[in-house]
Amino acid sequence: MKKILFATSEAHPLIKTGGLADVAGSLPKALAELGHDIRLILPNYQALTLEDKPRYICTVRVDNREVNILETQLPDSNVLVWLVDYRPFFDHPGNPYVDEHGIPWPNIAERFALFCRIITEVAMNRAYLDWQPDIVHCNDWQTGLAPAFLSLESQPPASVFTIHNLAYQGLFPASSFSQLNLPGQLWHPEALEYHGMLSFIKGGLAFADILTTVSPTYAQEIQTPEFGYGLEGLLSHRHDVLHGILNGIDMDDWNPETDPLIPGHYSAHRLKDKVINKIQLQQQMQLPEDESVPIFGMVCRLVEQKGIDLMLKNLTELVQLPLQFVLLGSGDKSVEYNLQEFSRLYPEKIAVTIGYNEALSHLIEAGSDIFLMPSRFEPCGLNQMYSQRYGTIPIVRKTGGLADTIEDALPESLKNETATGIAFNHPESDALLEAIKRSLVLFDNKPLWRKIQRSAMKKDFSWTNSARQYQALYDTV
């Protein structure tokens, strides 16, 4: 049994902007089920959804600031959550990274530097909590300074740093280094300095005892210039301690047999009721009601990573085909605008919802026939796994976790009934279009399509296996 402090900037269902929250809300539960004493730590944002008022536990003083630690529980579990409560930083409307108007917090470096100092105080048992972890498990750049701070302590707990997305590095001008009052010995190209800038993520990459990322393929990709953003050298240098462990999914939250957010419950053996969700989706999105037309769904942050530009390039051609396209997302304003323009031009074919909507994301997973993830890169990706569980066949670009979690429908895999999705290689609109056309041919062959759906729905994406892999790594330090 290990004592684990799991540090994250978001965790579902308390606060979520993307897949990190899904992982931080479900991996700790799986580790607790394996018998570990795991506690989450995250900032006490105003936007947190809490069932009960959190309990005050203590006050810690760092950098001349008094920071409270509050305690609550991760819903549907006995995992304790410690909330870092510093009102001047976190008690504002907005999400962890941007304000309510979508503008990045100007003091984001200060916010997460303070968070990392508190993680360190808790890790060193200096926060009056009477609990010291064996392992501090940090996630993404927002927690990157913690392994660096811990490296300066005597006898610190072991640290693990998980890269969920190397594209976000927490880079700030060199002047931030002194403004944040960071220890001078960390200003070094082998520490936090990155081409004259301060890099939060390097704190994790250079100092954590173990590095992980969220799929085996991405673990390889980030050691190359194409995906490494200049950090490939450091990552290759540390490849002995770098492991790719696939994310799992929360099998209770994403279960088509019981999902409270969808009207029609179904399973691999009772697939016919999936159509109830399709009709509901068409009604809600004001698309013509038609059971037979294939619906292509997409739910994502509208950023370059997700290959939304490939989709935009294809839309004029796609509206000529017998299909409907439903998208939910938010992000890049020009992409939002272009998508909305298309939906105005082709209201019978394209429905676009801009925003963040948990319930609609479940309905799209359940009501669509095909799910689109043409990502340029994808460390793991969760929606292709949710889609398979919902019998909604994913079209993915063969990269990162997408390559690791679907079985492309090729003659061989179709014959031996292992196909669960459709993959294409090059991040080009033509390749995506061809994959879409391939899916239409398969969709028309109903007995074959049912088989692909059943194979997809039977795949085991639970956390059990991956949580054991983390456990095995914890045992090595």
Binding-site ranges for ligand ADP (CB under 6 A): 18-20, 22, 299-301, 328-330, 356-358, 361, 380-383
Q: What is the DSSP string of 138-194?
A: EESGGGTHHHHHHHTSSSPPEEEEEES-TT---EEETHHHHHTT--GGG-STTTTEE
Q: Which residues contact 442 (CB under 8 A, 6 or more apart)?
A: 393, 409, 422, 448, 449, 452
* Least spacing, CB of residue 463 vs ligand GLC, in Å: 12
Task: Verify binding: residue 214, ligand GLC, rule CB under 6 A.
Answer: yes
Compare residues 182 and 214 and give the one whose CB is closer to ligand GLC: 214
* Least spacing, CB of residue 381 vs ligand GLC, in Å: 4
* Least spacing, CB of residue 421 vs ligand GLC, in Å: 16
Q: Which residues contact 415 (CB under 8 A, 6 or more apart)?
A: none
Among 16, 137, 164, 202, binds ligand GLC (CB under 6 A): 164
Task: Verify binding: residue 23, ligand GLC, rule CB under 6 A.
Answer: yes
What is the residue whose two structure tokens read 């990709």? 221
Compare residues 122 and 214 and give the one whose CB is closer to ligand GLC: 214
Task: Verify binding: residue 19, ligand GLC, rule CB under 6 A.
Answer: yes
Phi, psi of 419 (to 5 degrees): -65, 135
The pair of structure tokens assigned to 212 is: 């992980």
| Residue type for position 398 | K
Task: Verify binding: residue 396, ligand GLC, rule CB under 6 A.
Answer: no
- With CB under 5 to 8 Å by kind, the binding choice for 38 among ligand GLC, ligand ADP, none is none
What does the radius of gyration of the chain's CA atoms come to, in whole angstroms? Answer: 23
Q: How far apart are CA 341 and CA 160, in angstroms?
A: 45
Q: How many CB atoms lie within 10 A of CB 291?
A: 8
Task: Verify binding: residue 331, ligand GLC, rule CB under 6 A.
Answer: no
- With CB under 5 to 8 Å by kind, the binding choice for 361 among ligand GLC, ligand ADP, none is ligand ADP
Task: Verify binding: residue 406, ligand GLC, rule CB under 6 A.
Answer: no
Task: Verify binding: residue 20, ligand GLC, rule CB under 6 A.
Answer: yes
At 327 the three-state DSSP class reads strand
- With CB under 5 to 8 Å by kind, the binding choice for 383 among ligand ADP, ligand GLC, none is ligand ADP
* Least spacing, CB of residue 380 vs ligand ADP, in Å: 6
Task: Verify binding: residue 18, ligand GLC, rule CB under 6 A.
Answer: yes
* Least spacing, CB of residue 468 vs ligand ADP, in Å: 21
